[in-house]
Structures are given as structure tokens and as C-alpha cells.
Chain A
Amino acid sequence: GAVVSQHPSRVICKSGTSVKIECRSLDFQATTMFWYRQFPKKSLMLMATSNEGSKATYEQGVEKDKFLINHASLTLSTLTVTSAHPEDSSFYICSAREPRGVSNQPQHFGDGTRLSIL
């Protein structure tokens, strides 16, 4: 089945550091990837939709300069949390959908990245 790999799985760093998270589709091409943030015991909040070769589409309230998304190839999207602060601590999850009959395909998720900013 379709596999999405997300790295790193856990990051602990100091306030002010920029952190890059990678999301790779291993056995399929993903023209679209999604980035979510999840708070404890809560649902996934869509942050942005990453489109290969074009700018990401950010959801309302998500700062595009804070959360930089790059989708340079059909198998890789990156999320960079710039100048991270403790309030950015969260669980970040990416997903990708196979392009065939797009809206009727399930999303395949990475295992998430636990970001802790000290």
C-alpha cells in the first residue's frame, strides 16, 4: 500500500530555532500533500495544502511566514517552522493522497513529528 514517511519523529530545540520537517511519499507520486497540527486529545487541524510546483494554500489563521512549505518534487514536501517558540510545540502530521480520482482516494499519513520548543 501507499506509504508516507515523515521525519524527524521528534524534535526538541530551543526557542528561536527553525525546524524543518520532511514528508515523503515512498511509492506513489503526490501532487498534493497536507500539513496538519494536532493538539492533545484533539482533532487534526489543517494548516495548509501543499501543491507540487506551486505555492501552498494556507488555511485561515495560519501564518505563511511562520510555517514555510515547499513542495519541490512529486514525492517530497517540507514544512519549516521558523523561529519556533514554545506555543509552536505540537504534533505535526503530513498526509498525501494518490492522484487517481483524487477526491475518492483516502489520505495516507506520516507518523507525525512531535515538536517541543523549550
Chain B
Amino acid sequence: SQQGEEDPQALSIQEGENATMNCSYKTSINNLQWYRQNSGRGLVHLILIRSNEREKHSGRLRVTLDTSKKSSSLLITASRAADTASYFCATVDTNAGKSTFGDGTTLTVKP
């Protein structure tokens, strides 16, 4: 299985609800990043959490990182229809400096 696996693969919620997505990885990392991709577009960086950080907030986003479990979660609170997109986690390998992306979670927020 690959580095940076997200679950669930797809998530459908009602507007106003919270959405939680999880990411697991395998190697040592410098940091972990979350990105958003609207259909047919490039990725937009949301938040970066360093390996020595446990939690980070940005607006309605909350990211946690557990390096002992090699996992991270992205929480979007009070979701909006405009949050509908695919969300990817990416890890930066300490040795290679390359980013590896998971398969993503497709979030649908119904108005």
C-alpha cells in the first residue's frame, strides 16, 4: 500500500456538519500537508503541520498529527457546500525531499 492513504475515500454530509478525514503514512517525515482540489483544477495548499507539532488550526480547519501512529486527521467544522472537493494529504520524505500524495477523500457537502 502507498504512503499517504486517506480514509474514507468518499464522505457525504449535510451543510453545517463537521467532516473528518484521516491520513496514514509509512516513512519518517519532515511535515505533512493537506491540500484541496476542486474538480478539474490544481491543488490548493490548506495547512502544513511539522513533525514536532501535534495540532494546528486555520479558520474552520483543524489538523492533528500523531507521529507515533503515523497518522493525521483533517477536521472541517461547520461545513459549507463550497467545501465540496477532494482533499489530499501529502508527506515530505526526510531523505528524498519529495512529496507523496494519498488517493484523497472526496467530500460532498449537501446544501
Do most interface residues of chain A lie in helix, strand or loop, or is the interface mixed?
strand
Number of A-B contacts (CB under 8 A): 57
User: Contacts A102-B97, A103-B92 known; A42 to B103 CB distance under 8 Å?
Assistant: yes
Q: Measured between alpha carbons, how far is A112 from B39 in the docked complex, in Å? A: 11
Q: Are B45 and A107 in contact (CB under 8 A)?
A: yes
Does A49 count as interface, using CB distance less than 8 angstroms? yes
Q: Mark A105-118, 1 if CB is under 8 A from B, else 0.
A: 01111111010000
Q: Measured between alpha carbons, how far is A95 from B41 in the docked complex, in Å? A: 12
Q: Are B97 and A109 in contact (CB under 8 A)?
A: no
Q: Which residues of A contact B88 (CB under 8 A)?
A: 43-44
Does A41 count as interface, using CB distance less than 8 angstroms? yes
Q: Are A112 and B31 in contact (CB under 8 A)?
A: no
Q: Measured between alpha carbons, how far is A106 from B35 in the docked complex, in Å? A: 9
Q: Measured between alpha carbons, how far is A49 from B50 in the docked complex, in Å? A: 23
Q: Are B98 and A43 in contact (CB under 8 A)?
A: no
Do most interface residues of chain B lie in helix, strand or loop, or is the interface mixed?
strand
Q: Are B99 and A104 in contact (CB under 8 A)?
A: no
Q: Are A112 and B30 in contact (CB under 8 A)?
A: no
Q: Mark A1-27, 1 if CB is under 8 A from B, else 0.
A: 000101000000000000000000000
Q: Are B97 and A106 in contact (CB under 8 A)?
A: no
Closest residue of chain A to B86, judged by CB?
A41
**A residues at B contact (CB < 8 Å):** 4, 6, 34, 41-44, 46, 49, 91, 93, 95, 102-104, 106-112, 114
**B residues at A contact (CB < 8 Å):** 2, 4, 30-31, 33, 35, 40-45, 48, 50, 88, 90, 92, 94, 97-104, 106
Known: A104-B31, A112-B41; 20 extra A-B contacts, CB below 8 A, are: A6-B42, A34-B99, A41-B106, A42-B103, A44-B43, A44-B101, A46-B98, A46-B100, A49-B98, A95-B43, A102-B97, A104-B48, A106-B33, A107-B45, A107-B90, A109-B35, A109-B42, A111-B42, A112-B42, A114-B40
